[in-house]
Structure 1
């Protein structure tokens, strides 16, 4: 099943290769129709770029992630912000993540089969960490997915779907093994790694940080296991923005940030009133980074989430605000994970009375400060922090809203956290609204709990698909993740 997706696209994964470090991506402008030799560095670059290109494309991040996080509202394709799933976009997302997994698996296979690469141990561990990252996105998006049988090329084209709780358990065990295997004293990638340039210590730090992401997501499903994982990994996780894991895009085709307006105006999305109105209510200094003034000038103005282009009360397009110029920059990085997320994970862990070395208020403030630093915001930071104080009795809403703001523009991760925490404004009022309509209750915070499986699975992997659908309560947008308890 998964091999058929790979055959037509695998050659395209190897064209963005850096043979002497991140700086070499600056010098690459390859013909996308011409494949290169299949070697571990090529496979790594292809896997990293392929995954990031889809995670931050307008079709996947824009029409799915950023809508479900309710950061943006659609301009013309309003169905997407009314939770209609575009099946082409959905299938492309599924295929792209599995294609990257295939590349990483192939990398490990090549190293193991040759047995002559002194850097193989570190290279395989780095590939293994990336596989954990991708599998978590897949299972959080779809719930049960092919896992144990997914990458067996030529052996099983109709793989079974694994239970999400078992996938999580395996991902934690795998990540532990990869962290242990990483050895900064041994050779690593001397090219091909756009994220950390082969820096083993940085990859180890990321591994511990991804352990925190896995654990906090399961905090309400398996609280004791989550606590154990977080307490064992927090001290070695990211300590600041210098540790951030990002894919470095450059201002040269075809290596620009996927969702950029450097060559054409992007008209698909406006920022939502959900985002703008809340940020304005707290005088959040990041608002002018997250959004830009309307074309007609004046204050930043959001569009009500899901408001139809045919709505007679909707203002002309020039009256609404597009996402900020940095978000649409050709050099905006593809974010894998950043320190602000880590800080908010630890703040939540402390709020749950888990032992993470610091108290929740201090970690909460660190998360806000780190987010401001990430966006180069220096004005009014102290005033802002004072206006959004930590409240131990209301930690879920307080931490939830600030983490949501700090995750922008990581639409998928923000959507997952919206589902998991089910947070509101710290005041207790609803933050999110249902897609705009005069007949809808605006206090209903409905959002899809998952993506439905790609249509091809129903015919090409029918038996496994049917079993998976039954196991999660039906292949519908309402079937919840195992960790989604509220």
Structure 2
């Protein structure tokens, strides 16, 4: 892995975008090695690393979706006031920068995947690499369209052929194209041929695992469409299941940081900023949900800091992870001594410490340092538990995906708990505990509504504790579960509603104005936080 990371900066340096004719010739220094001389495998690893950056840290999800769907809560004052974007839907001084970061970094990841495809042309021995790179392109495109709406897809990544003002494809068309492209790429993967040699997923180039990942991504995309195009959703969900989806937690897709070589997990880097470390806590909504069934993940993910302000702000001082004392912070409160001060919240837990060492949020649970404080920890992309929950829902809907909804739900619940082991030994739950918990909490099959509620609440909790905030948000938009009470904090940018998209980057109106205007014209309500996407019914 170390060699893969060392190539990331080098490869990124030779794949910058431009907007002129004869791009390659003009931008190639004849005294230096050209991109054609690089091993295209390292374009893949660079694409994977950039995708991890797009879906984590300050590039967007932790500052927006983490609080929108009440995974995290924050008092959002003092040093960490930028979390007001998430917890209260109130702009901070850098909101416009944050909302464009996911766009820029995800397209960078897609462009690197595209380079891998182009540099494998006429090299049949690298066909698996080319098709895996296509999977990465689609992975990024789904993230982009689910976050923003209509996006450039068919004309994207073509600056080298002088397409510098790409049209925005309608989300409906983007989804149809992505499904077709992904299906074709997965179908061409051949485990008998060489796999990629610089793979940052735990697969380490295992083509059979990539095939299962591709099918699970196809399933996830299909299930997004259950309300927008049920027939298309059913078609591709059944096809994905027949092709073979993620088979166990050993197939979980994540990308680990490499702290020794300067590649830090962006979520950890954000949470370890002083203001974040002090003020960001688990939401009451999440902790109450997990404690309601004595979920063993409570003691894994959460800790109450040591008493007092100093104890709450000390990075190296572990808290108490006894499940019985964990309390989630209610969303929508602050430390400003007014009507929305945390001390005025219903059921206020009380602070800890005395005098100058008092903190009013001392009894509320934060992400456990031993689990989420590792800069080399994983950024989850797609897990076995997610895949099994989607299969459970498909089965509830009567689709032919093999097995029963109850079986898939049980698989998912066990996998969700086991998946946290990727964060290290402190996050590992004994197998006997997992087995007993799964047996005691079967799927409610008394009605379709009861099953869908249980499945999708579990999806939210699972992706939430994996810190895959964007996926928790998108599935909440799709399913409506869990039922969340919005925050209506003074000065918010969404009229007191939970945001359903991010506005486009401000640069798009300047750099690609005509196509941007067309895209905005197709949004009911315009380029605002509350406009619904095509599949978001």
Q: Provide TM-score, normalisation by structure 1.
A: 0.86
* Deviates most, 362-371 or 259-268: 259-268
Instruction: Report the Cα distance in structure 2 between the residues aligned to 1:272 and 1:349, rounded to whole angstroms.
Output: 29
Task: Note if 1:72 corresponds to 2:72.
Answer: yes
Alignment of 1:223-302 (within 5 A): 223-235=230-242, 236-260=244-268, 265=274, 266-296=277-307, 299-302=325-328
**Number of residue pairs aligned between Structure 1 and Structure 2:** 451
Task: Evaluate the alpha carbon distance shift between residue 267 and residue 470 of structure 1 in structure 2; reply closer, same or farther with a 3 A threshold.
Answer: same
Contact kept? 2:203, 2:251, Cα under 8 Å: no
Give the aligned partner of residue 11 of structure 1: none
Instruction: Note if 1:147 corresponds to 2:156.
Output: no
**1:476: which partner in 2?**
528
Q: Decide whether aligned partners of structure 1 residues 43 and 34 sit closer, same or farther in structure 2, where only a CA change above 3 A counts.
A: closer
Alpha-carbon distance, 1:483 to partner: 1.2
Query: CA shift at 1:305, angstroms?
Result: 1.1
Greater Cα offset, 381-390 or 200-209? 381-390
* Alignment partner of 1:312 is 2:341: yes
Moved more, 177-186 or 308-317: 308-317
Residues 285 and 381 of structure 1 are in contact (CA less than 8 Å); yes or no, is this contact kept in structure 2?
Answer: no
CA–CA distance in structure 2, aligned partners of residues 34 and 353 of structure 1: 46
- CA 1:184–1:84 in structure 2 vs 1: closer, same or farther (change >3 Å)? same
- How far apart, CA to CA, are the structure 2 residues paired with 1:29 and 1:105? 17
Give the CA deviation at 1:124: 0.8
Question: Which of 93, 97, 106 is matched with 1:97 structurally?
Answer: 106
Q: Find the residue that maps to 2:362 and give its secondary structure.
A: helix
Q: Which residue of 2 aligns with 1:169?
A: 176
Aligned counterparts of 2:187 and 2:214: Cα–Cα separation in 1 = 10
**8 A contact 1:205–1:237 mirrored in 2:** yes
Determine if the alignment matches structure 1 residue 208 to structure 2 residue 215: yes
8 A contact 2:66–2:469 mirrored in 1: yes
Q: 1:120 aligns with which of 122, 126, 133?
A: 126
Distance 1:44 1:377 in 2: 33
- Alignment CA distance shift 1:301-1:350 (3 Å): same
Distance 1:480 1:384, change over 3 A: same
- 1:412 corresponds in structure 2 to 470
Please report the RMSD computed on the Cα atoms of aligned residues, expressed in angstroms: 2.7
Preserved contact between residue 4 and residue 200 of structure 2 (Cα < 8 Å): no
Task: Indicate if the aligned counterparts of 1:41 and 1:193 stay in contact, CA closer than 8 A.
Answer: no
How far the C-alpha of 1:433 sits from its partner, in A, is: 2.1
Superposed displacement of residue 357, structure 1 = 1.3
Q: Of residues 441, 444, 466 in structure 1, which corresponds to 2:517? A: 466
Distance 2:193 2:116 in 1: 18
1:386 counterpart residue number: 440
Q: CA deviation at 1:74?
A: 2.4
Q: 1:380 to 1:168 in 2, by over 3 A?
A: closer
Query: Does residue 431 of structure 2 align to residue 362 of structure 1?
Result: no
1:293 and 1:300 in contact (8 A); partners too: yes
**Closer, same or farther in 2 for the Cα pair 1:29/1:186, shift >3 Å?**
closer
Matches of 1:204 and 1:383 in 2, distance apart? Answer: 31
Unaligned runs of 5+ in 1: 1-21, 425-429
Tell me how far 1:412 sits from its aligned partner: 0.2
Distance 1:445 1:283, change over 3 A: farther
1:29 to partner: Cα distance = 9.9
Distance 1:389 1:30, change over 3 A: closer
Cα pair 1:144 1:164 within 8 Å, conserved? yes
Highest Rg: 1 or 2? Answer: 2
> In 2, distance between residues paired with 1:63 and 1:215?
27
State the 1:184 CA deviation. 1.9
Identify if the C-alpha distance between structure 1 residues 454 and 263 changes in structure 2 by more than 3 Å, giving closer, same or farther: closer
TM-score, reference length from structure 2: 0.78
CA 198–381 in structure 1, closer or farther in 2 if over 3 Å, else same? closer
